[in-house]
Amino acid sequence: MSISPDSHAPESSLTRLAPVEAVLFDVDGTLCDSDPLHYYAFREMLLEIGYNNGVPVDEEFFIKNIAGRHNDDIASILFPDWDHEKAIKFVDDKEAMFRRLVSKELKPIEGLHKLCKWVEDRGLKRAAVTNAPRLNAELMISMLGLTDFFQVVVVGSECERAKPFPDPYLKALKELKASAEHSFVFEDSASGIKAGVAAGMPVFGLTTRNPEKSLLEAGASFLIKDYEDPKLWMSLEELNRVQQS
């Protein structure tokens, strides 16, 4: 499914899905603004080992090399000369630090619960699809009060290939018994958007942290600031009208 990122894409991309069966969500940066916590954990732990000659990595480095990627890829990018097990151990320790931070501070993206109610009220199927480790994903989903909302949680490392490959989204559709022709995705990273598009679904790109240009280049149908964005609700209302006609 090819969707051009123009101003008319939201309406056309959603109405052609009627009747909608499922809505799929990424977790980090899509359900909650967790990237600042990931960035803080990586920055502090890399500083401790003298990475980058002791100069703290900046946010641009984080977005380019870390955000939205699977941990195996992150380990290879950060530590190309390290033994793989040692690199993975570092990333695992970082995830433990992240979970400690999350347990104290985690905020939903504005309007998230309003959108979840819209999805529930229409009896749509729903899945969380993430490159985060399962422990992280389930902790964040629980802290956001969405454990009962999601019928399926698919983790990239438990698939043959993680995002940006379509495998996690295809697995979610299979488990939900839903089709790509009647489902859509919310994502915030280029990696995740590529995965959703490759799985054959239109993707809503959230401009939480990543550059708008990279989201559009990855194939986002259109961009929204958060779940209160009028563009989103205009699209959902248009979809409602088509489904009821």
The tokens for 194 are 């590529």
**Type of residue found at 194:** K
Beta strand pairing status for 152-155 and 203-206? unpaired
The tokens for 101 are 């931070």
Question: Can you point out the beta strands (E) in 42-94?
Answer: none
Main-chain phi, psi angles of 212, to 5 degrees: -55, -40
Residues 6+ apart with CB under 8 A from 201: 1, 24, 169, 180, 183, 184, 185
Residue 26 falls in the annotated catalytic set: yes
Nearest to 30 by CA among 116, 134, 93, 95: 116
Residue 92 falls in the annotated catalytic set: no
Main-chain phi, psi angles of 205, to 5 degrees: -95, 120
Q: Which of 6, 28, 58, 93 is catalytic?
A: 28
Beta carbons of 26 and 136 less than 8 angstroms apart = no
Helix (H) or strand (E) holding 77: helix 71-78
The number of beta carbons lying within 10 Å of the beta carbon of residue 237 is 12
User: Tokens 């009647």 correspond to what residue?
Assistant: 182
CA–CA separation, 69 vs 190, rounded Å? Answer: 9
Q: Which of 6, 26, 92, 229 is catalytic?
A: 26
- Residues marked as catalytic: 26, 28
